[in-house]
Amino acid sequence: MTDASAPPPDGAVLRTAGLAKTYGGRTPVEALRPLDLEVGPGETFGLLGPNGAGKTTLVKLLLGLVRPTAGEATLLGRPVSDADARREVGYLPEGHRFPPFLTGRETLDLFARVGGVDADRRARRAPALLDLVRLGGAADRKVGTYSKGMLQRLGIAQALMNRPRLVFLDEPTDGVDPVGRREIRELIETLRDDGVTVFLNSHLLSEVERVCTRVAILKDGALVREGTVDDLTRVGRAWRLLTTPLPPPTAEALGGVVDPDPAPRADGLALAHVVVPDRGALGAVLDRLRADGVDVEAVEPVRQSLEELFVEVVTHDDAPPRPGQRRGLEA
Ligand SMILES: Nc1ncnc2c1ncn2[C@@H]1O[C@H](COP(=O)(O)OP(=O)(O)OP(=O)(O)O)[C@@H](O)[C@H]1O
């Protein structure tokens, strides 16, 4: 078994080993089944899953807000129960609320004070953060007048007050319009460029797909997929080719492997799907095409969107329901 409290040889920012949580009560709920997970420095990691999958439970375990039933977790190489581990961690909770009668600047100051940030640091950091989240011009307006997007950006500023190396963002674009979402996405990209590790919990899969380098999908408390967005959205061993039209003997010879698209293209080129077991077999197909005088203009893997993958994974009912489990929209 892995030891999560060992110093991370690869510098993992977040690591779990057999981390599990069962909520007690008359009907115990296995909210998180034993989970081994690692997130490296500078990654933008997306945690996905349907309602009740165990995402919030995992985040709460990682923040030391609930105790695990089994296993262990470390943040920046320290056990999550160690207060020092959380000193360099920021957190934007889902559905956070700010007092409407405070200005943005006062809100930031208040939360930083409660979080133990000293006056000097608050005075230096607050204006820079307000600028970073593009609230410099609205810093002295009451937050009661802020839009949802501005409130979320203020929440992100609050989460960044202690210069975290790791920041948890729980549904940062919840209820935010497309323009506001883009601003938040750009902010996350800025954090990534600054080397901050971002752990993002979101139901907005198109946003996750655009911003995250790696994702994990939880279902019924279990990890069912994990990998880079690039790898996970690949559809089997399928490629799409753009070529000059195949001479009939070539098309016939490769008939079981190359499936030409019958729709003619205005540019005279032809599209085809290729399904082969591996890259070597793809290379052999391309060699054959070229040998037969076919120009291969483009080769790209066939992909599905993260949303399509997600729906496929969560509707494929291969995990047994847990006793007392809350499901879907009942959440
Ligand atoms: N304090 C608790 N006591 C008992 N059961 C709980 C408790 N908190 C969560 N659960 C249950 O644990 C399971 C996982 O819940 P959790 O809130 O972690 O899921 P989630 O993926 O964050 O869902 P959502 O997307 O709706 O926020 C659910 O079946 C839920 O009902």
pLDDT tens track for 123-176 = 888 999 999 899 999 999 999 999 988 999 999 999 998 889 999 999 998 888
Ligand 1 nearest atom to the CA of residue 58, by list position: 18
Among the atoms of ligand 1, which is closest to the Cα of residue 49? 21
Total domains in the fold of the chain: 2
Q: Is residue 9 part of a domain?
A: no
- Give the chain's count of helices (H) and strands (E): 11, 14
Same-domain check for residues 224 and 120: yes
The C-alpha atoms of residue 103 and residue 127 are separated, in whole angstroms, by 13
Q: What is the pTM of this model?
A: 0.82
Dist. CA 21–CA 12, nearest whole Å = 22
Residue 324 within a domain: no
67 and 159 belong to one structural domain: yes
Q: What is the pLDDT of residue 236?
A: 74
> For the segment 281-329, what is each residue's pLDDT rounded down to a tens digit?
899 999 999 999 999 999 988 888 899 999 988 887 565 444 444 433 3
Say yes or no to pLDDT of 330 above 50.
no
pLDDT in the model for residue 96:
86
Q: What is the pLDDT of residue 324?
A: 45
- How many C-alpha atoms does 329 have within 13 Å on its Cβ side? 0
Q: Whose CA is nearest to atom 24 of ligand 1?
A: 51
Cα-Cα-Cα-Cα dihedral sign, residues 204, 209, 215, 218: positive
Q: What is the mean predicted confidence (pLDDT) over 114-128?
A: 87
Ligand 1 centre distance from Cα of residue 90 (Å): 22
Which protein residue has the closest C-alpha to ligand 1 atom 3?
Answer: 23
Phi then psi for residue 84, to 5 deg, are -65, -30
Regarding an ipTM greater than 0.95, the answer is yes
Choose the weakest-confidence range: 57-61, 67-71, 171-175. 171-175
Classify residue 77 by its DSSP letter: T
CA of 111 to the centre of ligand 1 (A): 27
For a mutational test of ligand 1's pocket, the pick from 56, 58, 330, i.e. the residue with the most ligand atoms closer than 8 A to its C-beta, is 56
Of 3 and 269, the structure prediction assigns the larger pLDDT to 269
3-class DSSP state of 297: strand
Ligand 1 neighbours by CB, cut-off 6 Å: 23, 25, 29, 31, 49, 51-57, 325-326, 331
Residue 3 lies in a domain: no
Query: Measured between alpha carbons, how far apart are the two ends of the chain, in Å?
Result: 34
Residue 189 lies in a domain: yes
Ligand 1 centroid distance, CA of 221 (Å)? 9
Residues 39 and 164 in one domain: yes
Please report, rounded to a whole number, the percentage of residues in the chain having pLDDT higher than 90: 54
Look at residues 189, 213, 230 and tell me which one is the last residue of a structural domain.
Answer: 230
Give me ligand 1 centre to Cα 38, in Å. 22
**Average pLDDT for residues 235-246, to the nearest whole number?**
87
The tens digit of pLDDT for each residue in 12-37 reads 999 999 999 999 888 899 999 999 99
Report whether 60 contacts 66 (CB < 8 A): yes
Cβ contacts of 131 within 8 Å, gap of 6 or more = none
- How far, in Å, CA of 307 to CA of 294, rounded? 36
Same domain, 71 and 211: yes
Domain shared by 141 and 25, yes or no: yes
pLDDT at 325: 43
222-228 and 214-219 as β-strands: parallel, antiparallel, unpaired?
A: antiparallel
The rounded Cα 5 to chain-centroid distance in angstroms is 24
Q: Which atom of ligand 1 is nearest to the CA of 326?
A: 29
| Residues of the domain holding 273 | 235-303
Mean pLDDT value of segment 36-52: 94
Helix (H, G, I), strand (E, B) or coil at 261: coil
Q: Are residues 157 and 204 in the same domain?
A: yes
